[in-house]
Structure 1
Amino acid sequence: MRIYYRGPDAVVTSELFVVRRGSPPGRFVIRDLRDVGIAPGPPDGVRLSVVVPPAAAATLVAAAAVSAAGGVLVGVVIAVSAAGAGLACAVVRQHRPRRWELRATYRDREVILYTSTDARVFHQVSRALRRALENERPPYADREAAAA
Structure 2
Amino acid sequence: MIKPLVNTRLGWVLLLTACSWWSGWVPSLSGGGTMLTWASTAMAQNRSNYKKLLGNYAEAILQMEPLRLQSYQQVQQIMGGTLPKNVCKQSDLVVPVNNICDRFFNESAEIIRRHGLTLTDFNAITEEVRRNKTLKNQLDEELIRRKRN
How does the TM-score come out when normalised to structure 1?
0.28
**Which of the pair is proportionally richer in helix?**
2
**Which of the pair is proportionally richer in strand?**
1
How does the TM-score come out when normalised to structure 2?
0.28
Higher RCO structure, 1 or 2 (CA under 8 Å, sep 6+): 1
Larger radius of gyration: 1
